[in-house]
Amino acid sequence: MPSVAEILIPLALDSAYSYAVPAGLTLAVGDVVQIPLGPRETVGVVWGVRESPSGTNLRPVTGRLGVPPLSGPLRELVDWLARYTLAPKGSALAMTLRLPDEAAQAETVRIGVRASGKAPTRPTPARLKVLAVAEDGALRGKSALAKEAGVSLSVVDGLIDDGALEATALAPEPVALPPDPDHARVPLSEAQAGAVRDLIAMMNPAAAAACPADAVDESGGGQRPGKAGLGSPLLEGDQQGEAGAETPGKLITGAGDASPRAPTILLEGVTGSGKTEVYFEAVADCVRRGCQALILMPEIALTAQFLDRFAERFGVRPATWHSGIGAKRRERIRAGVAAGEIAVVVGARSALFLPFARLGLIVVDEEHEAAYKQEDGVHYHARDMAVVRGRIENCPVVLASATPSIETRVNAERGRYRRLVLPERFGGRRLPDIAAIDMRVDKPERGSFIAPSLIAAVRETVAAGDQALLFLNRRGYAPLTLCRACGHRYQCRNCSTWLVEHRFRRALVCHQCGYAERRPESCSECGTFDNLTPCGPGVERIAEEVTALFPDKRIIVLSSDFPGGAERLRAELQSVADGDCDIVIGTQLVAKGHNFPHLTLVGVLDADIGLTSGDPRAAERTFQLLQQVTGRAGRGEKPGRALVQTFQPDHPVIAALLSGDVERFYDEEIAAREAAGLPPFGRLAALIVSANDRDVAEAHGQALARAADPPDGVMVLGPAEAPLALIRGRYRFRILVKTERSVDLQTYLRDWIARGPKVRGNVKVAIDVDPQSFL
């Protein structure tokens, strides 16, 4: 009987397509194949093979591609991702699969040269210098050779033309050399050593069983014994089966648990407590066992500083994976990972879909970061998917944070995750003293934004030769521009956003779609000349104020739109770390993960910014951000302090920050979430309906809501116009679905969408399970 293969195609298609398997070709699940699709050929993955008499009527598979098949765990991850996010299965597949055109881009060939043995026709002194270096016959890059000989590149080129040097293509630089787990073990503090011991015991229950005395109760880190597990590590994924009762308490004693499941571990430690060194030991342990480790970071945290730190510990830099990596290099990383040759990858969220051969550990650094949520295409949360991948691979997952998400904290409290705590800063360093500046009393001068007491503190700091950071989470010069004569406000033509003035670029820019226009000399509405006024501050405006106050100090403004791109930005962050500037003015970009040893003062210019949004996580997010940014102070030799400008010093978030009573904040916030049935105690999903026409979008949203038919435990709110009602010319309405935890949200959504109105014209419905953004 002929064979039929079910082929999943990495396009936005929900199901696999059937193709005939031609005689002579044997296909297995996971094989990557070429297939005809409509008039063209494309790539797909075999998702199933069966015998069927109908095989003869189908178009045949063209052939198998010479690439490694998609492994079982990755296929499981694709299935999981699609089922959980409701994304088309083909879109989920696309995240793991190399797309054919990606490889087309060739890597630049490096040319190496060496002495050919032939004497130069014209032996100038410069030429002889080059030949003296090249004499050893080693292959060197052209510029390396020129540099070593102390001559210009043209001398080397001349010798190549002359035949005295021969040129050959160099093998491409390896994407990563093998890290040495014992390269340079740093002496750990007692708390760190305790945490490492616990961490490794949790990761390897068998090892713990061998030396239980070492593993039990010596948790210098204050880990809490968990209750019996309530289900799978991922709260929202409970209904996906596999919800075996896991008893974390058992793992650590290793008492007769035949098939222990690899745990998820929350590594919680205040800023500067040395979490990195702790999880580096877990990485080292994993590498020693011949397994691979993945360290996920929010993209912007992937700094040279971190990679250097890794190199100090392991002797080489790790392979890195983020949006700035070229296609050819990606290909080589993918191959190296699949072959098991690359032992450690440090990457942004998409690294989660790399085809690791022997994954032994996933670390999610700064696990609370909202940047882990992908907000377009497949709406997935990389932290949650890391937990899923860990479960599929049965490898431990470490979630590191100074300010864990409420979800993770609750998971740890309920025993689904283990928890390790580093309560103090490394090396006896103190956490910064934090004080509020009550802006109702301590008012900045008219037209300025920095309170006198903060100015005084900056003055003291720079006078002592230390660094100060002024934090404001707003890019550009001013968030709003209006005409003083007619009141006209400058708005994006594609989005419902105000245009943000960027004085440096002399432009008004939309931060949503990138639309930019020249800042007009006269009002485009009433024509009044030179009467436009900026409203409110952005970092550029603060820089203006600071420059006027401290004209002879070195000042730098750092935000994600820093001119010169990511490379330049990384270099600037490094120079801040090296102490090459006095005052840093920055957005959240500088708030996170960086280590600036000379920084002793942090000034938060507007602590209240995030508190008024309608986001159910507003308090949590503000707390995390303020805790992170104030935590930049005093990480070096000298103690640090933070001053926080606020109009509501009594707000619970600000009060918790000032008092340092973190536990109280978590307790209250968790109680509030539970009372409101918000995640993780209830579940949320958002449906975002958009169209080029406002009425069409609204009508579709209403029709969709009418079909909702919510059962018990499900609430459907909306449609309501989205806070960002217009983006890139598309009008947006949101429906919010709120359910009890026991509800099978995915099945409900799937059925609802299926019976809902047909999507017509340019209407789009995006589904966002566990939304992080409510805009």
Binding mask 544-583 for ligand ADP (x = CB under 6 A): ----------------------------------------
Considering only residues 115, 176, 188, 201, which one is a binding residue for ligand ADP as defined by CB under 6 A? 188
- When asked if residue 271 is in the footprint of ligand ADP (CB under 6 A), the reply is yes
Q: Which helix (H) or strand (E) holds 672?
A: helix 662-676
* In the complex, least distance from residue 510 CB atom to Zn ion, rounded to whole angstroms: 3
Sheet containing strand 292-296, strands side by side? 319-321, 344-347, 292-296, 359-365, 397-401, 264-269, 418-422
Q: Omega into 100 within 30° of 0, i.e. cis?
A: no
Considering only residues 337, 492, 532, 745, which one is a binding residue for Zn ion as defined by CB under 5 A? 492
* In the complex, least distance from residue 618 CB atom to ligand ADP, rounded to whole angstroms: 24
Angle, CA 710 vertex, CA 705 and CA 712 arms, to 5°: 160
Tracing tokens 């509030």 back to the chain, one arrives at 672
Q: Pairing state of beta strands 40-51 and 292-296?
A: unpaired
Considering only residues 3, 91, 189, 403, which one is a binding residue for ligand ADP as defined by CB under 6 A? 189
* In the complex, least distance from residue 495 CB atom to Zn ion, rounded to whole angstroms: 3
Which DSSP string do the residues of 132-156 spell out, in sequence order? HHHTT---EEHHHHHHHHT--HHHH
Site residues (CB under 6 A) for ligand ADP, limited to 595-614 = 595
User: Which lies closer to ligand ADP via its Cβ, residue 275 or residue 349?
Assistant: 275
Considering only residues 99, 186, 228, 526, which one is a binding residue for ligand ADP as defined by CB under 6 A? 186
- When asked if residue 96 is in the footprint of ligand ADP (CB under 6 A), the reply is no
Distinct helix (H) and strand (E) counts, the chain: 23, 30
**Binding partner of residue 600 among ligand ADP, Zn ion, none, CB cut-off 5 to 8 Å per kind:** none
- When asked if residue 401 is in the footprint of ligand ADP (CB under 6 A), the reply is no
Stretch near ligand ADP under the rule CB under 6 A, chosen from 274-282, 320-328, 600-608, 737-745: 274-282
In angstroms, rounded to a whole number, what is the distance separating the alpha carbons of residues 167 and 134?
12
* In the complex, least distance from residue 87 CB atom to ligand ADP, rounded to whole angstroms: 33
- When asked if residue 546 is in the footprint of Zn ion (CB under 5 A), the reply is no
Q: What is the CA radius of gyration of the chain?
A: 29
Considering only residues 274, 355, 396, 649, which one is a binding residue for ligand ADP as defined by CB under 6 A? 274
Residue 78 has φ and ψ, to the nearest 5°, of -60, -45
- When asked if residue 277 is in the footprint of ligand ADP (CB under 6 A), the reply is yes
Count of beta carbons in the 10 Å neighbourhood of residue 413: 17
- When asked if residue 269 is in the footprint of ligand ADP (CB under 6 A), the reply is yes
**Binding partner of residue 276 among Zn ion, ligand ADP, none, CB cut-off 5 to 8 Å per kind:** ligand ADP
In angstroms, rounded to a whole number, what is the distance separating the alpha carbons of residues 311 and 227?
39
Site residues (CB under 6 A) for ligand ADP, limited to 618-677 = 635
- When asked if residue 461 is in the footprint of ligand ADP (CB under 6 A), the reply is no
- When asked if residue 510 is in the footprint of Zn ion (CB under 5 A), the reply is yes
Residue 471 has φ and ψ, to the nearest 5°, of -110, 125
How many residues comprise the chain?
775
Stretch near ligand ADP under the rule CB under 6 A, chosen from 241-249, 265-273, 295-303, 539-547: 265-273
Stretch near ligand ADP under the rule CB under 6 A, chosen from 51-59, 214-222, 271-279, 471-479: 271-279
In angstroms, rounded to a whole number, what is the distance separating the alpha carbons of residues 143 and 126?
14
User: Which lies closer to Zn ion via its Cβ, residue 196 or residue 508?
Assistant: 508
Q: Which of 740, 218, 728, 759 is nearest to 512 (CA)?
A: 728
- When asked if residue 192 is in the footprint of ligand ADP (CB under 6 A), the reply is yes
User: Which lies closer to ligand ADP via its Cβ, residue 633 or residue 749?
Assistant: 633
* In the complex, least distance from residue 505 CB atom to Zn ion, rounded to whole angstroms: 16
Contact yes or no for 631/639 (Cβ under 8 A): no
* In the complex, least distance from residue 490 CB atom to Zn ion, rounded to whole angstroms: 11
* In the complex, least distance from residue 283 CB atom to ligand ADP, rounded to whole angstroms: 13
User: Which lies closer to ligand ADP via its Cβ, residue 306 or residue 490?
Assistant: 306
Contact yes or no for 251/198 (Cβ under 8 A): no
Count residues contacting ligand ADP (CB under 6 A)?
16
Instruction: Give 661's contacts (C-beta < 8 A, 6+ positions apart).
Output: none
Strand, helix or coil for residue 685: strand
Considering only residues 71, 496, 512, 773, which one is a binding residue for Zn ion as defined by CB under 5 A? 512
Considering only residues 495, 581, 704, 705, which one is a binding residue for Zn ion as defined by CB under 5 A? 495
- When asked if residue 28 is in the footprint of ligand ADP (CB under 6 A), the reply is no
* In the complex, least distance from residue 493 CB atom to Zn ion, rounded to whole angstroms: 7
Q: Which tokens hold the place of 558? A: 């750092």
* In the complex, least distance from residue 431 CB atom to ligand ADP, rounded to whole angstroms: 11
In angstroms, rounded to a whole number, what is the distance separating the alpha carbons of residues 33 and 384?
30
Strand, helix or coil for residue 539: helix
User: Which lies closer to ligand ADP via its Cβ, residue 356 or residue 471?
Assistant: 471
Residue 638, burial from CB neighbour count under 10 angstroms (0-12, 13-18, 19+): middle
In angstroms, rounded to a whole number, what is the distance separating the alpha carbons of residues 512 and 528?
28
- When asked if residue 273 is in the footprint of ligand ADP (CB under 6 A), the reply is yes
User: Which lies closer to ligand ADP via its Cβ, residue 273 or residue 646?
Assistant: 273
* In the complex, least distance from residue 220 CB atom to ligand ADP, rounded to whole angstroms: 14
Residues in a beta bridge with 33: 44, 64
**Binding partner of residue 510 among Zn ion, ligand ADP, none, CB cut-off 5 to 8 Å per kind:** Zn ion
Q: Which helix (H) or strand (E) holds 666?
A: helix 662-676
Q: Which amino acid is at 27?
A: L
Q: How far is CA 460 from CA 127, 453, 457, 600, in A?
A: 57, 11, 5, 11
- When asked if residue 426 is in the footprint of ligand ADP (CB under 6 A), the reply is yes
Angle, CA 586 vertex, CA 604 and CA 372 arms, to 5°: 95
* In the complex, least distance from residue 134 CB atom to ligand ADP, rounded to whole angstroms: 41
**Binding partner of residue 515 among ligand ADP, Zn ion, none, CB cut-off 5 to 8 Å per kind:** Zn ion
Secondary structure of 270-288 in HEC code, one letter for each residue: CCCCCHHHHHHHHHHHHHH
**Binding partner of residue 186 among Zn ion, ligand ADP, none, CB cut-off 5 to 8 Å per kind:** ligand ADP
Stretch near ligand ADP under the rule CB under 6 A, chosen from 105-113, 272-280, 532-540, 713-721: 272-280
Q: Which of 638, 595, 567 is nearest to 312 (CA)?
A: 595
Stretch near Zn ion under the rule CB under 5 A, chosen from 41-49, 196-204, 362-370, 486-494: 486-494
Instruction: Give 697's contacts (C-beta < 8 A, 6+ positions apart).
Output: 689, 690, 691, 730, 731, 732, 733, 763
Residue 356 has φ and ψ, to the nearest 5°, of -55, 140
User: Which lies closer to Zn ion via its Cβ, residue 494 or residue 648?
Assistant: 494
Return residues touching ligand ADP (CB under 6 A): 186-189, 192, 269, 271-277, 426, 595, 635
Return residues touching Zn ion (CB under 5 A): 492, 494-495, 510, 512-513, 515
